[in-house]
Structure 1
Amino acid sequence: MKAYSTDLRQKVIDAYKNQEGSQRNLASRFSVSLTFIQKLLKRYRSSGTVEPKAHGGGNTAKLSSEQMALVVVLVEEDNDAILVELCERLKERTGVKVSRSTMGRITQKLNLTRKKKHCTPAKNTQNEFKNSEQSIGQPLAQSC
């Protein structure tokens, strides 16, 4: 979720200073939570600023840029591979173990598609129902 704008924060502080209502009234007036008002006032009193805090970060990436490039190569080598197979191949080459869901997020981030080969029955030139020579129970020829 994005932080509330500095303009909104300053309006809340100004309204509170001008005693335009209680904290609950200000929360409903500005369509924010009561907790936001309380934390904003506490921050303003302690530091004198209404600026939002810096983003705390997040988890570091599991794979380096070289390993991400290897994922691209793995998908290009065999675009028919499922995510679990890609995880195993990545582990064999780099020693880094990632989960299936992590591999899915990586392939999405890299905009990689894994198109599957589909086996379809071979097209017959004659209508199958009218063909009296073909006996029931014989498998149809397939092309892959």
Structure 2
Amino acid sequence: MKPISVNLRKRVVAARLEDGQTMGLIAERFRIPKSTVQNILRRYAQAGTVEPKPHGGGRQPIFTSDALRRLERDVEEHPDATLEELRERSGVSVSLVAFYKRIKQLGFTRKKSLYVRENNVVRT
């Protein structure tokens, strides 16, 4: 959804305070939802400004840069460890899929054993 411009917010407040228009009329006049008019006027009454609130951020990553460095070091030291073992050592509480994605993000790939006794069968 496109944010409401500061100019339009100021015009909404002016229409209410200077012209005394109802919220419904303001909504029709500027072609915005009545709830948006209510939110703009509430923000003006509480904060004295029509500027939008700053973005609240987003979801915080579970793997911090320190955790990723420790994970990278652990994978290099224990290349034969399973995902479960690496996850337990890291102390991070995530699913195996999420853990695998972080390992892949670090540039590590899953390697099969190059030579295993079961695979040494001659086919006829």
Shorter chain as denominator, the TM-score bin is: 0.5 to 0.7
**Matched AA of 2:33:** S
Root mean square deviation, CA, Å: 4.0
Aligned residue in 2 for 1:99: 95
Give the Å deviation of 1:2. Answer: 6.8
Mark the runs of 5 or more structure 1 residues left unpaired by the alignment: 79-84, 118-140
Q: Which runs of 5+ in 2 are unaligned?
A: 113-122
The answer on whether the counterparts of 1:13 and 1:41 sit within 8 Å (CA) in structure 2 is yes
Q: TM-score, normalised by structure 2?
A: 0.54
Q: Measured at CA, do residues 90 and 67 of structure 1 come closer, stay the same or move farther in structure 2, by a change above 3 Å?
A: farther
| TM-score (normalised: structure 1) | 0.49
Q: Give the total of aligned pairs.
A: 108
Instruction: Label 1:2 to 1:94 Cα distance change in 2 as closer, same or farther (>3 A).
Output: farther
Q: Distance in 2 between matches of 1:11 and 1:54?
A: 21
Residue 87 of structure 2 contacts residue 99 of structure 2 at CA under 8 Å; is this kept in 1? no
Structure with more of its chain in helix, by fraction: 2
- Distance in 2, matches of 1:7 and 1:69, equals 47
Larger radius of gyration: 1
State whether residues 72 and 112 of structure 1, in contact with CA within 8 Å, keep that contact through their aligned partners in structure 2: no
Give the Å deviation of 1:65: 0.5
Instruction: Return the letter of the residue paired with 1:6.
Output: V
Note the alpha carbon deviations across 1:53-86, whole angstroms, 9 max, x for none.
2333444321110323466675xx99xxxxxx64
Structure 2 counterparts to residues 17-56 of structure 1, below 5 A:
17-19=17-19, 21-56=21-56
